[in-house]
Amino acid sequence: MEFFMIRINKGGEPPTQSMEAEKRIRREIANSNERRRMQSINNGFQSLRSLLPHHEGEKLSKVRKLLFSLYGQIFGK
């Protein structure tokens, strides 16, 4: 006896090609939105880095950038 898995949609029917294509499109849109979100965050950190004092070639982690900017806000430095 052979066993195999068939994906079933909410209506109890096997998925159609159009359903699979729609799922793939939704995933591509979600991936694109996440890439855009991460680019926005990274651009924000890049802008923040330009405002913080640092030595040439010094790399600051995102956490250190946030801590430096928080310190400046609290203590006015």
pLDDT score for 23:
93
Take residue 11 and report the two structure tokens written for it: 């209506």
Cα separation, 67 vs 70, in Å, equals 5
55-72 b/e with 16+ CB inside 10 Å = b?
eeeeeeeeeebeebeeee
Task: For the chain, list residues with pLDDT below 50.
Answer: 1
**Percent helix / strand / coil, the chain, rounded to 5:** 65, 0, 35
pLDDT tens string 24-39:
999 999 999 999 999 9
pLDDT score for 6:
55
Q: How far is CA 14 from CA 18, 20, 25, 66, 70, in A?
A: 12, 11, 19, 50, 54
pTM: 0.59
pLDDT score for 43:
93
pLDDT score for 16:
85
